[in-house]
Structure 1
Amino acid sequence: MGAETGAAPEPLLLHQNDVVAVATKDAPLVLGLQPCALVDHVARVDFSLLDQIPGERGGSFPVAREEVENILSKVKSHILSSPNDPSPLRTVAGGSVANTIRGLTVGFGVSSGLIGACGDDEQGDFFVDSMSSSRLNLSKLRKKKGPTAQASCVCLVDEEGNRTMRPCLSSAVKIQADEFTKEDFSGSKWLVMRYSAYNMDIIKAAIRIAKQEGVSVSLDLASFEMVGKFRQPLIELLESGDIDLCFANEDEAMELLRGKQDASPEASLEFLAKYCKWAAVTLGSYGCIARHGKEIVRVPAIGEAKAIDATGAGDLFASGFIYGLIKGLSLEECCKVGSCSGASVVLSLGGEVTPENLQWMYKQMQIKGLPLPDLL
């Protein structure tokens, strides 16, 4: 595809402000692949709205632009608000990988960046401004003519804090498989990705060059709906042996082995560990389990965390876990940092950790005797 020989892309031109220095050609330690930029519309809604939209509750599956517009038109009449949450409807720069990368940079001081594309529209500018203000390296983010996404992603949070996501990506500009160069990955240590059967050519191309450059690969299983509908391509990707670290939540883990005699999270962890150096399965209020080689650990959840919105919990768990690996922590400690990080984001609406909740996370880490980030 000529990916190795193509010319390196020009850095994305950011707005002239005090964070423009992040847009350099210096390689970020952790690079997140998000083929297209996303802007999330996050709202707390009552259960009745979830009964009116297609698909299962709690999942994340792409839908047509018309369906997202239909959902957004109904949101205002189903909004939940409370004195403790003055902003029940919020628009934020998002995407699973962006959440993880932002968490690594803001929460843990790990040099991180994004590779992908955004459109030359208002939402593209919003995404760039938001991510650059978080000091992400955006030098590998291509800006293209066209829409960032017609409606991006609507994220509905119910009364119990569970989220249901419906992204619209069909018309969004995105990076193509033949656009990657070895310079995109050279110097980085980790590549963070999210499974998507719709982007398999992009994922495979990125993995191929990343491996040539000695970069380790982390994969999140995305959603139980994506795993269930496209299980075989996922299994083939795992069986390639190119995935070093895999994250799954309980629903995704069980969906992976659906139809097998034992489809428990523990069995799924064992399956993932056959192909990945590290594997972790989050279990909500029951904590998480993880495996590295023959070592298996189980870490309880943080009881002090009262979930307002589960959006980004798995993404931020990954931030903490990867931070632990970078710091050379034990498997158990990686899980504990991940639990602190994941719990911090559920304390408010949206997939971005607030400054107040970051301080809460650091306090929890300190209580558990975990090393705090160098930025403190």
Structure 2
Amino acid sequence: MGVEFQPKDHSSNTGKQTTTHPLVLGLQPAALVDHVAKVDWSLLSQIPGEPGGSFPVAAEELKHILSEVNTHILSSPDNSSSSITIAGGSVANTIRGLAAGFGVNCGIIGACGDDEQGSLFRTNMSFYKVDLSRLRLKSGPTAQCVCLVDELGNRTMRPCLSSAVKVQANELTREDFRGSKWLVMRYAILNLDIINAAIHIAKEEGLSISLDLASFEMVRKFRLPLLQLLESGKVDLCFANEDEATELLRGEEDASYEAALEFLSKYCKWAVVTLGSSGCIAKNGKEVVRVPAIHKAKATDATGAGDLFASGFLYGLIKGLSLEECCRIGSCSGASVIRSLGGEVTPENWQWMYKQMQYKGIHVPNLANSDCQGMSERETGIALS
């Protein structure tokens, strides 16, 4: 599984802080390992919550779902793995994509356990040269998530976070953020105090804030604190998919994704709504652009599509490109990850993305860490079958 990187233990304040300054930081309070599997529809009907969303489950429920996976797993026509375990989490997917596919210097803030899952997370992220010096190593279990993918490539996620180690709001320091330019986050009610603490410090250090709305279930159940966060004006860039956007304005006279985009743009400098096979729509100031999806991408698994869209869009912003160009790069990177299982883009699919960018006249990044392009499945995760 490659050379394991041991991050600095931040459980005490006695260690010397890192002097590196990643351009983009991801805040993922709890490191997460994804168990991704292609399964038949009958399993999805047996688990709590609606298919297609993401909502936390207890440890016993996660254990039950994982025990049922093998009896419901779908065979792959091309003999590729139908299940895999990899480093995951929306923020980690975005950060890894920026580092691996676009050569952006990235780091992650959070905590992982001193278990096998934590080791896997660190190994995977460090291979792509993601700075882990802000990842606290603690005693306890690492968070896990089961990602169930149906025959059409739609994914249903059930994370187990309740007993997992995570970084606490009072553990965040100015040194964690100093020298960086962007902070990438995902909305989660269980992390709201950490999110608010991170935003406060990040703004004092001059960072811009990117927020993903997580899932339609999270928006529906915890809409009020989300609205308060957005209306604070501290979020610079907001990503939502169509379901999340319409949930944001549920009960309003106009709850369309266009109305949601307009609402988000009142408080965020950049607002983006992804529309699946219909592409995306984005707004910056008075400028509104629509960009179609790349229909050459055959969807195997939608896991990570929004996360990798964010990678491409952020890369465009970092390079000072236009709103339309940011959306086009986001569409290319989002399409690249759905061509295989899991939220990690394979070397072959990065090459596919670069060809799409060339075809559209978009400058392909000159990667400083191109050695990541030769990474094999054995080095990135554990195939379950």
TM norm structure 2: 0.91
- CA deviations on 1:199-218 (whole Å, 9 max, x unpaired) are 11000000000000000000
For structure 2, the residue ranges without an aligned partner over 5 or more in a row are: 1-5, 10-16, 371-385
**Residue 12 (str. 1) matches residue 4 (str. 2):** no
Q: 1:224 aligns with which of 216, 220, 238?
A: 216
Distance 1:142 1:51 in 2: 37
Match of 1:17 in 2: none
Distance 2:140 2:302 in 1: 32
Whether the 8 Å CA contact 1:24–1:137 is kept in 2: the answer is no
| SS of the residue 1:361 aligns to | helix
- Alpha-carbon distance change, 361 to 244 in structure 1, aligned in 2, over 3 angstroms: same
> Is 270-279 or 85-94 further displaced after alignment?
85-94
Could you tell me how far 1:86 is from its partner in structure 2? 1.9
The residue type paired with residue 303 of structure 1 is H
Distance 1:24 1:129 in 2: 19
Distance 2:161 2:280 in 1: 31
- Alpha-carbon distance change, 35 to 289 in structure 1, aligned in 2, over 3 angstroms: same
Distance 1:226 1:338 in 2: 23
**Residue 183 (str. 1) matches residue 178 (str. 2):** no
Distance 2:62 2:121 in 1: 19
Q: CA RMSD in A?
A: 1.2
Could you tell me how far 1:251 is from its partner in structure 2? 0.5
Distance 1:24 1:368 in 2: 40
RCO higher in 1 or 2 (8 Å CA, sep ≥ 6)?
A: 2
**Residue 352 (str. 1) matches residue 344 (str. 2):** yes
Match of 2:20 in 1: 26
Match of 1:248 in 2: 240
Could you tell me how far 1:293 is from its partner in structure 2? 0.4
- CA deviations on 1:294-351 (whole Å, 9 max, x unpaired) are 0000000001011000000000000000000000000000000000000000000000
For structure 1, the residue ranges without an aligned partner over 5 or more in a row are: 1-10, 15-22
Match of 2:286 in 1: 294
Could you tell me how far 1:374 is from its partner in structure 2? 2.1
Match of 2:309 in 1: 317
Distance 1:226 1:326 in 2: 29
Could you tell me how far 1:123 is from its partner in structure 2? 0.9
Distance 1:85 1:309 in 2: 16
The residue type paired with residue 60 of structure 2 is E
The residue type paired with residue 91 of structure 1 is T
Q: 1:65 aligns with which of 59, 62, 87?
A: 59
Q: 2:319 aligns with which of 307, 320, 327?
A: 327
Match of 1:173 in 2: 165
Match of 2:138 in 1: 144
Could you tell me how far 1:85 is from its partner in structure 2? 4.5
Distance 2:237 2:78 in 1: 37
Match of 1:20 in 2: none
The residue type paired with residue 113 of structure 1 is G
The residue type paired with residue 250 of structure 2 is R
| SS of the residue 2:134 aligns to | strand
Match of 2:254 in 1: 262
Distance 1:243 1:263 in 2: 21
The residue type paired with residue 122 of structure 2 is V
Match of 1:236 in 2: 228
Distance 1:82 1:72 in 2: 19
| SS of the residue 2:129 aligns to | coil
**Residue 128 (str. 1) matches residue 128 (str. 2):** no
Match of 1:153 in 2: 145
Whether the 8 Å CA contact 2:51–2:156 is kept in 1: the answer is yes
Match of 1:367 in 2: 359
Could you tell me how far 1:25 is from its partner in structure 2? 2.8
The number of equivalent residue pairs is 356
Identity over aligned pairs, percent: 74
TM norm structure 1: 0.93
